[in-house]
């Protein structure tokens, strides 16, 4: 199994541009989440999904959209990038009824 994969690994955007961060998992996990990690802070939850077609907001959802059309994929869309969205983004998944989360390698995003 590849586990949780994320693309791209690194991205530079200009303010106002939009983009989609990709996340996929091959473990058939029901739950998927997006976090951002900023220096000196823990991971903060952006959006999460408990199954295909079901998404909900986390702690810091503003400026981001998600959708979950399949169990495997959970893309994160930045609608109009801002410098405050410069961060490292992690996708994670877990099986329903189990607490352990599996994380992807992360996407480093720089917004100029």
Least separation in angstroms between residue 65's CB and another protein is: 18
Q: How far is the CB of 20 from another protein (least distance, A)?
A: 19
How far apart (Å, rounded) are the C-alpha atoms in residues 27 and 2?
A: 8
Q: Using CA atoms in the order 23, 25, 30, 34, what is the torsion angle rounded to 10 degrees?
A: -30
Shortest distance, position 5 Cβ to another protein, whole Å: 10
Q: By C-beta, is 50 or 82 nearer to another protein?
A: 50
β-pairing, 87-94 with 31-37?
A: antiparallel
> Nearer to another protein by C-beta: 17 or 58?
58
């Amino acid at each position: 199994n590849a586990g949780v994969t994320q693309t791209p690994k690194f991205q530079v955007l200009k303010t106002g541009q939009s983009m989609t961060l990709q996340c996929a998992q091959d473990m058939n996990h029901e739950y998927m989440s997006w976090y951002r990690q900023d220096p000196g802070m823990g991971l903060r939850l952006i959006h999460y999904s408990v199954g295909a077609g079901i998404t909900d907001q986390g702690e810091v959802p503003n400026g981001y959209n998600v959708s979950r059309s399949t169990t495997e994929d959970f893309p994160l869309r930045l609608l109009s990038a801002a410098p405050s969205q410069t961060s490292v983004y992690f996708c994670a998944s877990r099986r329903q009824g189990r607490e352990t989360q599996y994380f992807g390698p992360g996407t480093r995003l720089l917004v100029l």
